[in-house]
Amino acid sequence: MAVHIMTALAYLAEKASSEVLARTVNTNAVVVRRILGDLNRAGLIHAERGNAGGFTLARTPKQISLLDIYRAVMEERELVSLHENPENRKCPVSCKVRGTLAAHLHKAQSVYERELQKVMLADIEQAM
C-alpha cells in the first residue's frame, strides 16, 4: 500500500488528500493516513494540515527508492525472524543456533535490501 500511495503521489505530481489517495488504493482514508504518517516520519513526504492541506513527495521520484519506502513502513522488523523461545541451557544447539542463524539471515536480508535500493519510484511511475 505504501508503494501504491507513493506511486500515486508521483503520478499526480501535485498535492493530494488522504481521501483522494484512499480512492486509488480502494480503502479508507484513515488507513492511508496511518501509512502516510510513517512515510512522513521517514521524511519521504510533506504533510500539510488544515484547509487545503494534503500530501506531496519530499523528493523527486528519482530520489526515492523502494528501500526508502520499505524502511519507512517496516522500521526494524525483519523479513524472517528467529523463534523467541527461551534457550535450553543443557543443549548446545539451543544455545548457539540463534546467533549463527541470525548472521546468515542478516546477510540475506541485506542483499534483499540492496535490490530494493536499486529500484526508484521513478521506475515504477514510468510503467504506469
Partner DNA sequence: GTCATATGTAACCAATATAGTTACGTTTAA
Partner DNA sequence: TTAAACGTAACTATATTGGTTACATATGAC
Applying CB under 8 A, does 100 fall inside the site for its own copies?
yes
Interface positions, 18-47, toward its own copies (CB under 8 A): 23-27
Rounded to whole angstroms, the Cα distance separating 30 from 36 reads 9
Applying CB under 8 A, does 96 fall inside the site for its own copies?
yes
Applying CB under 8 A, the span of 40-48, 51-59, 90-98 interacting with its own copies comes to 90-98
C-alpha cell belonging to residue 98: 540463534
User: Of these partners, DNA, its own copies, none, which one is at the site of residue 50 (CB under 5 to 8 Å by kind)?
Assistant: DNA
Applying CB under 8 A, does 15 fall inside the site for its own copies?
no
Rounded to whole angstroms, the Cα distance separating 122 from 80 reads 28
Applying CB under 8 A, the span of 36-44, 46-54, 56-64, 108-116 interacting with its own copies comes to 108-116
Among 125, 12, 128, 108, which residue's Cα sits nearest to residue 66?
125
The C-alpha cell 528501500 sits at: 67
